[in-house]
Amino acid sequence: MHTHFRIFVEDLSGSKMLDILMKKLIPTEGYTFSIHYYKGCGSLPKSMISATQIRTQTLLNNIPRLIRGFLNSDPNLKDYMEVFVVVTDCDNKECDKFKREIMSTIKDSVGMPVENCIVCLAIEEMEAWLLGDFNAIKQAYPNANKKEYDSYVQDSICGTWEKLFKVINEKEFKRSRNTSYNNTVGIRKSEWAENITPYIDIDANKSPSFKYYVKKIRGYCCT
């Protein structure tokens, strides 16, 4: 049976990273994927009524409505297996509890078997997955600072994207009158994802949350 991974991620840089990673992870025949990205993590709806009404552009607010919509609107779903994958930053949340809350919200609002849904948290941020492979960083950015990298503890709560910025050893962000600082950071994160991810060695990456994602995706692939 054909398997399709429908991936939900909270921002553009994450979608670019996952697009490259999935092409490395899944077989070329019998498996496909699509990525849906949003403008921030947001928060889980407090009730199922609100879950049907939300129209924000953030990830978690929309998850119950989106998954339910895909399940109800796809006439061909019986012909293949749809796997829903939710990928978001853990930030400073208690990760196991946060993951259970997401899974519980999806199950209660959609009635979908839990085994067809994967929740993966990047700890602290998705840049942690890039920091899991210094060789990949070095290939993308030859001036990368190894000493700065060696001071990083994998998947630690430390201001992850700022740490990656220091490791890459780039010059300070340039601010323009027409671009806010936050937008500049978002643009730079997308560049890092596009430049570093192609060099990532899937099996050598040191990030525990990255390894969890790889294990979960491969669990659905007959290789």
Q: What is the average per-residue pLDDT within 87-98? A: 87
pLDDT at residue 99 is higher than 70: yes
SS3 state of residue 88: strand
Please state, as a whole number, how many other Cβ atoms lie within 10 Å of the Cβ of residue 153.
9
Chain centroid to Cα 214, Å, comes to: 12
Distance CA 148, CA 17 (A): 23
Give me the phi and psi of 200, to 5 degrees please: -65, 130
Encoded amino acid at 134, one letter? F
How open is the CA angle 119-120-122, to the nearest 5 degrees?
150
How many whole angstroms separate alpha carbon 102 and alpha carbon 58? Answer: 14
- Give the per-residue pLDDT at 180: 55
Across 58-62, 179-183, 195-199, 201-205, least confident range: 179-183
